[in-house]
Amino acid sequence: MSAVAARIRPDQNPQAVTDHPAQATITMSAVNKWYGKMHVLRDIDLRVNKGEHLVLCGPSGSGKSTLIRCINALEEIQSGTIEVNGNVLGRKGAKVDHIRRDVGMVFQQFNLFPHLTVLQNCMLAPRRIHRATEAEARDKAMHFLEQVHIAEHGHKYPAQLSGGQQQRVAIARALCMGPQVMLFDEPTSALDPEMVKEVLDTMIGLADQGITMICVTHEMGFARAVAHRVIFMDRGEIIESAPPSEFFGAPKHERTRAFLGQILNH
Ligand SMILES: Nc1ncnc2c1ncn2[C@@H]1O[C@H](COP(=O)(O)OP(=O)(O)OP(=O)(O)O)[C@@H](O)[C@H]1O
């Protein structure tokens, strides 16, 4: 049985979020973003509690990537506020470097440095951000490479690994920063089908450890198994947000139903 199938769904597990009393890690309030004249995020209000796992889905171009890229300050917003662990983005004196340290990001393309080994890729953040010694950085990198079951490939270069293995290295590298929140932007979209499961299983392992996660993904099996809340976005707006049982069992909005009809029948 796959790890996805074997898990108790979080909304069937009363301890899942109540272990973490409502303590917001991320708060987005009335966030608007334009690219030129294109209004891509429209009055986004979103609160993510510590330990919460969110899955963000929606049609192509609906603003999902932009939303999560705004959270770690890869994109600027034009109005509203985003607060991450007490740091308010966009305000004078905002500590963008703190936000980037607190928020680990995993992209569709793995973005590993090709000229560095797996181990060296993972040692960068501890060395540069946490000013760790070489030995400390190596220990930390090995710890997270072991966690994603890839430590034996530490001496290799990214090009010598499969896509799934590279993505697991990218996850380990993000974890080496010691983030409070992990953002995943379609982490399995660039992978061959047989490699998708290994990456999803790694993400499930992280979820089980209680790390706060926001995942943009169309892997609805993962959403059912791991998400406390599934959010549907369309045309820059949050249309629906509900626990998976409700979201999949009785979606309220017509646009959510149409979207689910398309991707679940695919
Ligand atoms: N850097 C950019 N400059 C201009 N327009 C952009 C930029 N990035 C994204 N867009 C546009 O903003 C809109 C939202 O894009 P975004 O990538 O956030 O959507 P998405 O829901 O993540 O889509 P997908 O599922 O295809 O990745 C799209 O119309 C896209 O073309």
> What's the pLDDT tens digit per position in 75-84?
999 999 999 9
Sign of the C-alpha dihedral computed for residues 14, 17, 19 and 22 taken in this order: negative
Q: Quickly count: other Cβ atoms within 10 Å of residue 219's Cβ.
A: 23
Average pLDDT in the 220-233 region?
A: 95
Does the residue 15 lie in any domain? no
**Placement of tokens 């061959």 in the chain:** 192
In three-state secondary structure terms, 49 is: strand
Does the residue 234 lie in any domain? yes
Provide the number of structural domains found in the chain: 1
Average pLDDT in the 59-80 region?
A: 94
Residue 243 has pLDDT above 60, yes or no: yes
Q: According to the model, what pLDDT value does residue 96 have? A: 77
Q: According to the model, what pLDDT value does residue 18 have? A: 41
66 CB under 6 A from ligand 1?
yes
- The CATH number linked to 126 is 3.40.50.300
Does the residue 44 lie in any domain? yes
Higher pLDDT, 46 or 72: 46
Among 57, 65, 185, which residue has the most ligand 1 atoms within 8 Å of its CB, making it the best to mutate? Answer: 65
144: part of which helix (H) or strand (E)? Answer: helix 134-147
Give pLDDT tens digits for 204-215: 999 988 899 999
ipTM: 0.97
Of all protein residues, the one whose alpha carbon is nearest to atom 29 of ligand 1 is 61
Residue 12 has pLDDT above 60, yes or no: no
Does the residue 13 lie in any domain? no
Q: Which atom of ligand 1 is nearest to the CA of 236?
A: 14
Supply the DSSP symbol for 160: G
Does the residue 98 lie in any domain? yes
d(CA 52, CA 126): 25
**Please, which pLDDT band fits residue 97 given cuts at 50, 70 and 90?**
confident
Distance 235 CA to ligand 1 centre (A): 10
* Contact present, 85 and 58 (Cβ < 8 Å): no
Distance 45 CA to ligand 1 centre (A): 19
62 CB under 6 A from ligand 1?
yes
Give pLDDT tens digits for 152-192: 999 999 999 999 999 999 999 999 988 989 999 999 999 99
Q: Average model confidence (pLDDT) for the chain? A: 89
Residue 141 has pLDDT above 50, yes or no: yes
Does the residue 163 lie in any domain? yes
Q: According to the model, what pLDDT value does residue 8 have? A: 55
Structural domain harbouring 245: 24-264
